[in-house]
Amino acid sequence: RTFHIYCTACDSLVFICENTEKCADKHLNECIAKIEERRVAYYRSVLWKRKSKKALNTEKALNFIILVLQKKL
């Protein structure tokens, strides 16, 4: 026999092995951990993109400075 609960973390109906609080808590903890992993991965990618854009902007600025200095020489 299977039991189900509604998980608010993943917003879905989840089938659990036993009708116990322990089994439901296990699913909820795993679900929250997955959501947290996705959130961390997303923020890492955002920060990485910002770093690469900053690096490009810095590179452009350096190239501009080099061009200005070359014109003065």
Helix (H) or strand (E) holding 17: none
Amino acid (one-letter) located at 37: E
What pLDDT is stored for residue 8 in this prediction? Answer: 85
Alpha helices in the chain (DSSP H): 21-72
State the residue range of the domain holding 40: 3-72
Q: Please give the model's pTM, rounded to 2 decimal places.
A: 0.55
Task: Report the pLDDT value the prediction gives residue 43, as an integer from 0 to 100.
Answer: 86
Residues 31-57 have pLDDT tens digits of 888 888 888 888 888 888 777 676 667
* pLDDT at 73 (0 to 100): 56
pLDDT more than 90, % of the chain: 0
Count of domains for the chain: 1
